[in-house]
Amino acid sequence: MEKAWLFFNWASRIKGFKHDQFTYTTMLNIFGEAGRISSMKHVFNHMQEKGIRVDSVTYTSMMHWLSSSGNVDEAIALWDEMKSKGCFPTVVSYTAFIKILFDNHKVKEATAVYKEMIHSGSVPNCYTYTVLMDHLIASGKCKDALEIFEKMQEAGVQPDKAACNILVEKCSKVGAMEALKIAGESNTLLRQVNPHFYLDCSFRKKANDSNTVIADNSASIDKELLYVLLKNNNLVAIDHLLQGMMDKKISLDNKFISTIIECNNGNKY
């Protein structure tokens, strides 16, 4: 960080070179990530004093690092400042600010900003939907989160790994994995976009079509998902997944079966 700051100042003395919005924003991001909020503010103020254009990218970075350091009110004030100066929010800045509000239990305000975003013509992206799902699941509204998951696909937005991680891992923690099965969201879809549960498509086809028993090491992906469910004591989802594994003729070793038995017996996993 110190070297970056020294270089930033050194570059400003090069004949014919002037720092622009990009270099200033890069520098304040470095300070923000390091928790040096006062230094970050100094760079931001210096940027404005020099007449460097401040756009939504810079404002979004400032709001993010301020809220991360606990300065939520300052982040909100910057949002108002950004709009008052005619700097129109992008879908990225809208989404970042909605997350800041949700993370700080300002649900009413976050909802209002989301509606404002829609009315402005900004189209929600995958991260926007992910932020909404994350909040809903944290509030115990897994079915509502699942509706968001379906709506984003209907809108032509392809779920990414983060979106499906939320559905698999966070829903399992609150005992709602069975809701995904009822809604028709197969384990295959969820694993396909999850780095921990990824299963090669060619193997998946082999698993579904083969009449032979598949080796345990090839079934590690299903077992990883089962371990997540075991950890969260989600027995309904475990039963569903076990049935699917048996249908694909995936063998289970004795140690793994013993773990499931202990879980069903009430022992801590």
pLDDT at 218: 38
pLDDT at 106: 95
DSSP per-residue letters across 128-169: HHHHHHHHHHHTT-HHHHHHHHHHHHHTTPPP-HHHHHIIII
pLDDT at 6: 87
* CA distances in angstroms from 39 to 27, 129, 256, listed in the order given: 10, 33, 53
User: Dihedral of the CA atoms 240, 243, 248, 251 (nearest 10)?
Assistant: 120
pLDDT at 32: 93
pLDDT at 144: 86
pLDDT at 248: 67
Judge whether 9 lies within some domain. no
Judge whether 222 lies within some domain. yes
Cβ partners under 8 Å of residue 191, min gap 6: 197, 198, 199, 221, 225
Report how many domains make up the chain.
1
Question: Do 191 and 165 meet the contact criterion of CB atoms below 8 Å apart?
Answer: no
Judge whether 185 lies within some domain. no
Alpha-carbon gap, residue 165 to 182, rounded angstroms? 18
pLDDT at 76: 96
CB atoms within 10 A of CB 18: 10
Judge whether 195 lies within some domain. no
- Mean pLDDT in each 10-residue stretch from start to end of the chain (269 residues)? 84 85 91 93 94 93 95 95 93 95 94 94 92 88 84 86 74 56 46 39 39 40 61 64 68 58 53
Domain region containing 238? 218-261
Judge whether 140 lies within some domain. no
pLDDT at 201: 36
pLDDT at 74: 96
pLDDT at 192: 43
Alpha-carbon gap, residue 173 to 52, rounded angstroms? 47
At 62, the amino acid letter reads: M
